[in-house]
Amino acid sequence: MSRDCLPPPAPEAPGFPLPEGACDSHTHVFGPFARHPLSGERSYTPPENDGPALLRQLDAMGLARCVIVTASAYGADNHAMLEALALAPDRLRGVAVLSEGVGEADLDAMAQAGVRGVRVNLFRRDGHQVYRNGMGLEALQTLAPRLRARGWHLQAWLHAPDLPELWPSLAACGMPVVIDHMGRMSTARGVDDPGFALLCRLVADGAAWTKISGADRLTVTGPPYGDVDPFAAALIAANPERLVWGSDWPHINYFGGATDRGVPSDANLLRALRRWTDDRVLRRILVDNPGALYGFP
């Protein structure tokens, strides 16, 4: 049974100037549901937050650019993401979820619309998949030659402790690899966790990118996410040229239960990034790196 997610809070400016061309490299859109209904098989039910709502959020936050990732609640249906991309083609890029049977014409149309990558859902806890839907390794391996030909990258949603097992299969696809949300591990595991240590080495070698994001999902202590600081510091020390940042707006999977801290503030997430970086690294993470990875003009 799918649970209803809480809505995101009203946008709040972070309180410091963002560099010109700053990019939020991880967001989702949902709706309009009249045209783009959610998958019947899904792990959560988000409220409607469509392309125009996303643009209002970016404007309020002072963000010039954005990457929209098709969420698991849509399965392999990318239409909501593609409709949103058409609202601001120079400003927006996309990451799709694909089925093995996708046609060449559809891939060409997605590339023309601004799609630059594909996401696989390999996120498991105790051996069990956390979210329904998504693309797996088998489909990825089938599609990889066609995606490489278009210059796309692979975005992997996984648990860092599983990275040592998964990395050989990801690397064999021959595409740039982007690991979501610093490996989505709890800070309680510590920076010496073998999976996180491997992530740092891959970033240091330039073999992988990661999104230095998801502080609200890694934290044990909550805002202002001080327990995430050592993880961000380790990745920045490894290689700031392979890092991008994303808000994860509109922050699905918050339900308001007794142990739920509430939907995070994007301003707080940006303030954490500011705390982790000097001006040069902040610009690299928000402007230069996403410009290179997603091909912004």
- Largest separation between any pair of C-alpha atoms in the chain: 48
Block residue for tokens 């050989």: 168
Q: pLDDT by residue (tens digit) across 197-221? A: 999 999 999 999 999 999 999 999 9
If you average pLDDT over every residue of the chain, what do you get? 94
pLDDT of 128? 63
> Mean pLDDT over residues 120-137, rounded?
77
- DSSP label of 288: I
The answer, yes or no, to whether residue 269 has pLDDT greater than 90, is yes
- Per-residue confidence band for 132, with pLDDT thresholds at 50, 70 and 90: low
pLDDT of 2? 80
Lowest-confidence pick of 117-131, 167-181, 254-268: 117-131
Q: What tokens were used for 60?
A: 């309020």
pLDDT of 19? 98
Q: What is the percent of the chain with per-residue pLDDT over 90, rounded to a whole number?
A: 88
CA atoms within 13 A on the CB side of 230: 13
Please name the residues in contact with 181: beta carbons below 8 A apart, sequence gap of 6 or more: 26, 157, 211, 213, 214, 217, 218, 248
Q: Is 248 annotated as catalytic?
A: yes
The answer, yes or no, to whether residue 93 has pLDDT greater than 90, is yes
d(CA 227, CA 5): 25
| Domain containing residue 13: CATH number | 3.20.20.140
- DSSP label of 192: T
Angle at 272 between CA 68 and CA 158, to 5 degrees: 50
pLDDT of 258? 61
- Per-residue confidence band for 123, with pLDDT thresholds at 50, 70 and 90: confident
> Mean pLDDT over residues 187-197, rounded?
97
pLDDT of 230? 98
Task: Tell which wins on pLDDT, 109 or 130.
Answer: 109
Q: What tokens were used for 200?
A: 């740092």
If you write DSSP's letter for every residue of 222-287 in order, what string do you get?
Answer: -TT-GGGHHHHHHHHHH-GGGEE----BT--S----TT---SPPHHHHHHHHHHH--HHHHHIIII
> Mean pLDDT over residues 233-253, rounded?
97
pLDDT of 256? 81
Query: What are the backbone dihedrals phi and psi of residue 259, each rounded to the nearest 5 degrees, phi first?
Result: -100, 5
pLDDT of 259? 62
Closest CA to 168 of 131, 192, 141, 134: 141
Q: How many domains does the chain fold into?
A: 1
Its pTM surpasses 0.85:
yes
The answer, yes or no, to whether residue 42 has pLDDT greater than 80, is yes
- Per-residue confidence band for 87, with pLDDT thresholds at 50, 70 and 90: very high
Q: pLDDT by residue (tens digit) across 276-292? A: 999 999 999 999 999 99
> Mean pLDDT over residues 139-158, rounded?
96
Q: Containing domain of residue 248, as a range? A: 3-294
Question: Which residue among the candidates 227, 248, 278, 279 is catalytic per the annotation?
Answer: 248
